[in-house]
Structure 1
Amino acid sequence: MLNQSLQSPKADILVIDDTPENLHLLSAMLTEQGYKVRSVTKGSTGLRGANAAPPDLILLDVNMPEMNGYVVCQHLKANDRTREIPVIFISALGDVLDKVKAFAVGGVDYITKPFHLEEVLARIDNHLTIRKLQKQLQAQNERLQQEIHDRAKAEEKFTKAFRSSPNPIAIATVSEARFIDVNPSFLRMSGYLLDEVVGHTITELDFGKDVGAIAKTIQLLLETSSLHNQEFEFSTKFGEVKTILLSIELIDLSGVQCALLIANDITERKRLENEFISLVSHELRTPLTSTMGALDLLGAGQLGNLNPQGQKFLSIATTNTERLIRLVNDILDLERMKSGKIFMRKVNCNAAQLLITATEAMQAMAEKSQVKLIVNAINIQLWADPDRLLQTLTNLLSNAIKFSAPGDTVKIGAALPDDENVKSKENESATTKHLLITIQDEGRGIPEDKLQLIFERFQQVDASDSRNKGGTGLGLAICRNIVQQHDGKIWVQSILGEGSTFYVLLPLASSQ
């Protein structure tokens, strides 16, 4: 009994009956079964109690003085707080008309006295279950209505943002890359009318040379889920070529997997960038070259001998001027590659010779830094531009040496991917038609959050590296561009404090 009293009651039941014997019997019976029971002898008292603390179920006698059960039930059903409470009539009146009247005023059941314990309990349990299910259904309906309301508000906000956005926005299906809708900004940028775009696939419209890449990106969204700020060329209806930054997100539209494409027209920005590159080329490169020539004359002693302090300042000036020249050359190289002004002159070239040449070119730097270089070449033919590939390898070796401590070892090697025990998403699709080149160091390593960023322009692991190591922050961006123009891939794996390994995957010559 103690354990039962500590448990939560199964339900709260209000009994309204003017006969004390009936009240005592029902109360004792229901309390024994785990119900909380409130008993009153007057209808008016029962109404006040039900309104103050609505019970889960009411057992109501029909024949009572002042206010009979039918009137009490009518008052209960007229009150918003008590309308949904199930009412079971208990009465000695067994006439059919009495029962009909009970149901007419809102009762859910009718038990005739003298009642049987099992029958009362069964009916109470049945109607409590029905009421519980009704509450659950009502709660679900309220949640559904709220969700419908919230979704309608969200769709309204999205529609307003979609229509009024200054950025060109389009929605296309993932399966076919077929346009469902585009906003006015997209139409203004493209020059098309709405009915000329909606219903057509991206490949059906003449959007320029990158249209296939955009369509493929959309169809891969189920795997990638998003694409952010990827640069593409875009041709308008009238043949004008624009440069856009495109972001694509996977969205669900009424059960259909769709792509949300948001474009940013950067054509004018690219034009200004090209003007800046031209300025750098003509206004900075020439005076820097002249400055370097003058410093070489001073260093050679052709204009007189310098004292030790003068030699020190001359060395600083020479080092800084060389850094500036490297920075200018790197910027020019990167921008020319991106704009397609530098073409890869691909020929059959020997991979072993390239690795050995790159190692020999960096040997002096390695000896100065007291770093040991080890090369493990493979005699196989590549289809590549040897000069640009040599630029990539020497750049990667230079980085490895700069970030190694005296006594460390830097290894450069090459192998067919099936022979190389490197598991990575970048080389899952690699076959023996590719060569995998690795540059491994024992340096400080690269934090995980920097592994992708280091291939972007002006990105370095540490902001002080430019000053302490003499880098421009463009070397890896140039390497990536060269490798991509060879239809290859470049990536890095690293463990902090243990070193880094750069991977370059390149296609073999077709005769291989």
Structure 2
Amino acid sequence: MTADKDHQTQANEGSILIVDDNPSNLRVLSQMLSGRGYSVRPVTDGYLVQAGVRASPPDLILLDISMPDMDGFEVCRRLKADEESRDIPIIFISAMSEIEDKIKAFTAGGVDYITKPFQLDEVIARIETHISLRNLQKQLEAANHELTDYRNYLEEIVKERTKELEKANQKLQQEINDRKLIEAKMLSSQRLVDLGTLAAGITHDMKSPLQVIVGISESLKKQIENGSPDKEYIAEKLDIINRNGWRIEAVMRSLLSYVRYSGSENEPHDLNSLIKETLLLIEHQLNIWANVEVITELEEYIPVLRCDRTKISQALINLLMNARDAMPSGGKITIRTIFQKAENRVLLQVEDTGVGIPQEIQSKIFDSFFTTKPVGQGTGLGLTNVMETIQLYQGKIELSSVVNHGTTFSLYFPVKPAASKSSEK
């Protein structure tokens, strides 16, 4: 039992192919190496080496140089030229001791050179060293192979995940596009609703001056028909007609400016004038807001803004409507403009004395469709529109709010130089 185990251990030392045309040398080497536990195969002809190696690759080859039909150098060169045998370590063992022969052996691909007569311990030590190196090389190759397989596996996983992410991204992009489309439609619908509300208010505002004009004109007509016109009376009444006519013209001009697309984001506009025209547009609504006072604090000299007047007007209306809704019991709304020269920007503030915005929802108020109003009383797009407008002009918006004390929205518009004609082209 012990002998079998020892034999099995010996067989595990490695396999060696011995190539020598001298049977006596083959016998001596074979016996020595077999006694040390190596599996030995002797070959006497250099032409048979390649076939033997292909049939059963050894762990190491001991190769004689002087052989009649094919010398060891040529055998080595052929083995190294074959992909299946090029990595097998070859130790030359020869009586040729000239330095030229050794160089020739290493040039052909040998890993070591043993000169005859040799010492057994030296041969064993060199064999063990090169077989150990060969085993380490095999382990490294196996590890590299495993790494390559694992890398390929990871690459496949990455490809699959990439495809999944691309699909998810496409789906997300479609959802974003759908959401933007819904927002655009809702903003368009809200704009039509706002326009209808403005038109109704303007119709009401125009009714009074028209009644005055009609009434006074009929009175003047009767005086003329009776043949007793009073010049001072006529002049006074014509002045009233003139003022009311200009009043109607101003209201209509503001409405036309609001509904007409300017066609350019780079047209110069006076922000104070835009604010006054916007207040004129919603004058009727301001008049019916119970206990709400609108105050303007407009800096007299501020630079013009290059913008789309309609978008700025709509943003201001949205802020005013929000301020009104925040003051169900009434209060004050202050509209303020300031030119901040150091920062080269214009500040537009809308401040109210309403209920304020709780801290926990302040980060959400600019999100699309977010609203604190009851269902049916708000689209949740008003402040989104304000944010998009200020971002369009590379500005920024700040919110300051204290519950039960009020809210201030600050819009900062950078002052931009006029575009040159060459850049416009």
TM-score range, shorter chain: 0.3 to 0.5
Please identify which structure carries the higher helix content: 2
TM-score, normalised to structure 2, is 0.41
Please identify which structure carries the higher strand content: 1
TM-score, normalised to structure 1, is 0.34
Larger Rg: 2
